[in-house]
Amino acid sequence: MDLLKADVFEELGPLLSAEAAAEAPGTGVDAADLEQAVWVRLLEGGPREPDPDVRARWLRRAVRAEARLARRRARREIPYGATPADGAGEPEGALLHGEANRALRSAVARLPGRCPELMKALLSPRDLTYREIAGELGISQGSLGPVRSRCLGCLRRMLTAEVAAPGLRGKER
C-alpha cells in the first residue's frame, strides 16, 4: 500500500466509522458491512482531490448511497423459508397476522348491502373466479366489478377511520 492510501485510511477511518454507525440502524445491515462497502467504493474510484473537505464530503455521500442500496435490498429480499404475508415461525407475527385478519373480517361484516357477502366470497380460501362468485351471489358477472369497487371503497374508509393513517414521508409542501 502506498503512502497516499495509508494517509487516506488514517484520515477517513474515524469519519467513516461514525457515518456508518449513524446510517446502519435504518438499513438492515451492520455498520461494519456498510463501512466495508464504502472502503471498496473508495479503493475502486474514490476522490482524487488532496483536499480533506472534498474527501469528507465524498465519504458522506458514499455512505448514504450505500445505505440507500442496503435499504432497497432489504425491502426486496425475502429470507428462504418465509413468506412476506405470514408470521411463520414467530409467535408475535402470527398473533399480529391473526389480529389483522379478525379486524378485517369484523369490518367486512359491518359493510352495507351485499358487500359482506361479496367480500367474504373474494376473501374465501377457495379462490373463486368472478363467474363462480356471480353464480353464488345471484348477480350478473358484469356488475360484480363495480359492486366490488364500491365495497372496497367503503371498507377502505372504515379501516382508515379505525387505524391511524401513516405520517407523510419526505418533505411536506
pLDDT, one tens digit per residue, over 38-96 is 888 888 887 777 787 888 888 889 999 988 888 888 777 766 665 555 545 578 877 77
Which position has the higher pLDDT, 48 or 169? 48
C-alpha grid cell, residue 25: 440502524
Pairwise CA distance, residues 115 & 121, whole Å: 10
State residue 43's pLDDT score: 82
Torsion of CA 73, 76, 79, 85, to 10 degrees: 150
C-alpha grid cell, residue 128: 373463486
The lowest-confidence range among 55-69, 92-106, 147-161 is 92-106
Beta strands in 63-164 (DSSP E): none
99 band by pLDDT with thresholds 50, 70 and 90: confident
Is the overall model pTM greater than 0.85, yes or no?
A: no
Cβ–Cβ under 8 Å, residues 137 and 118 = yes
Cβ–Cβ under 8 Å, residues 74 and 29 = yes
State residue 1's pLDDT score: 41
pLDDT of residue 150 exceeding 50: yes
